[in-house]
Amino acid sequence: MGRVRITCWILLLQSLSVFAEDENDVIIQAPDVTPFGRWGRMENCSQGLFVTAFQVKVEGKHSIVDDTGLNGVRFYCGTPTTLEDEAGQSYLTWENVTSSVGLFGHWGHVNNCTTYAVGFDLEVQEPQGKYKDDIGASNLKVLCADGAQIEGYFNNGEGHKFHNVSYTGVQRCPTGYALCGIKTKVEIYQVLGDDTGLNNIAAKCCSLTDVIPIIAG
C-alpha cells in the first residue's frame, strides 16, 4: 500500500472523529487523591483507532527546589492491522493525543503495548501538609490487552525517586473495550506558591466492535 493511500485513510479517520460520541463509551478515572488542579478536555483518538502506546512528561526529583513529578501524558493511537509502505515498513501508530499538560519536566521515551491498552494505574503522592512540597502524581502504568503493565517513568534506569507515593489501583475498561481518549487534571503555575503538575487522569474506553477494518496490501 502506497503512502498516498495510507494518508487517505488517516484523513478519513480524522474526519469521522467529529461525529457525536458513542453513548456506549465508558469513562474510567483514578481516585481523586489530591485537591489540586483543574480538569482539561477529553481528547479522543480518531474513530476506529485505539491507544497502542504512551509517553509521560516528568520533572525528576531535585534536592531542595520545588518538585512537580508527572506533568503530562500522551496517548498514541493505532489500528488493529499493521499497514506497510512500499519498503515494507510497518505503520501501527498513526496519531497522538494529549489533554492538559504542566509546564515542567521532559517527555520520556514512547512505551508500546503489543496490542491495545485497556487500562491504567496512576501513582500519586498524598498531600504532604502545610509548608511541605507536594508533587501530585508521579508516574503512570498502562495495562495492555495481553496483561503486561508498562511503567512510564524511569530515572536513569533505577525507577522514580519520589517519596511517599503509591499506585492508586488499576482502572480497567470493560471486556471488549480499549482506551481511546484521555483527560487530565493539572494545576496551573503557582508563581510564588508550591507547584504540582498532573494530579489525576480519566480515560475513555471505546468498544472494539467500532474498529474500522483496514486491509494491508
Split into its structural domains, the chain has a count of 1
Q: Which CATH number fits the domain that encloses residue 180?
A: 2.100.10.20
Residue 217, in any domain of the structure: no
Span 163-213, pLDDT tens digits: 788 899 999 999 999 999 999 999 877 666 667 789 999 999 999 986 654
Span 80-119, pLDDT tens digits: 555 554 555 444 667 999 999 988 888 999 999 988 999 9
pLDDT score, position 161: 66
How many CA atoms are closer than 13 Å to the CA of 95, on its beta-carbon side? 21
Residue 215, in any domain of the structure: no
Flag the least confident range among 9-13, 33-37, 69-73, 146-150: 9-13
pLDDT score, position 21: 56
Backbone angles phi, psi at 93, to 5 degrees: -95, 130
Interatomic CA distance for residues 50 and 54, integer angstroms: 11
Interatomic CA distance for residues 199 and 191, integer angstroms: 18
Q: Categorize the per-residue pLDDT at 24 as very low, low, confident or very high, splitting at 50, 70 and 90.
A: confident
Helix, coil or strand: residue 187 = coil
Residue 165, in any domain of the structure: yes
User: Is residue 30 pLDDT above 50, yes or no?
Assistant: yes
**Domain assignment of residue 153, given as a range:** 3-210
Going through 109-216 in order, the beta strands assigned E by DSSP cover 111-112, 117-125, 137-144, 149-151, 165-167, 171-172, 177-186, 198-207
Residue 144, in any domain of the structure: yes
Residue 216, in any domain of the structure: no
Most confident of 35-39, 124-128, 157-161: 35-39
Q: Categorize the per-residue pLDDT at 154 as very low, low, confident or very high, splitting at 50, 70 and 90.
A: low
- pTM (two decimals): 0.78
Q: Using only the alpha carbons of the chain, give its radius of gyration.
A: 18
pLDDT score, position 14: 41
pLDDT score, position 196: 78
Instruction: Indicate the average pLDDT of the chain.
Output: 78
pLDDT score, position 210: 64
What percentage of the chain has pLDDT greater than the value 90? 46
Q: Categorize the per-residue pLDDT at 52 as very low, low, confident or very high, splitting at 50, 70 and 90.
A: very high
Interatomic CA distance for residues 7 and 15, integer angstroms: 12
Interatomic CA distance for residues 121 and 104, integer angstroms: 22
What string of DSSP letters covers 12-36? HHHHHTTSPPPTT-EEEE-------
Q: Residues 30, 41, 184, 82: is their CA dihedral positive or negative?
A: positive
pLDDT score, position 156: 46
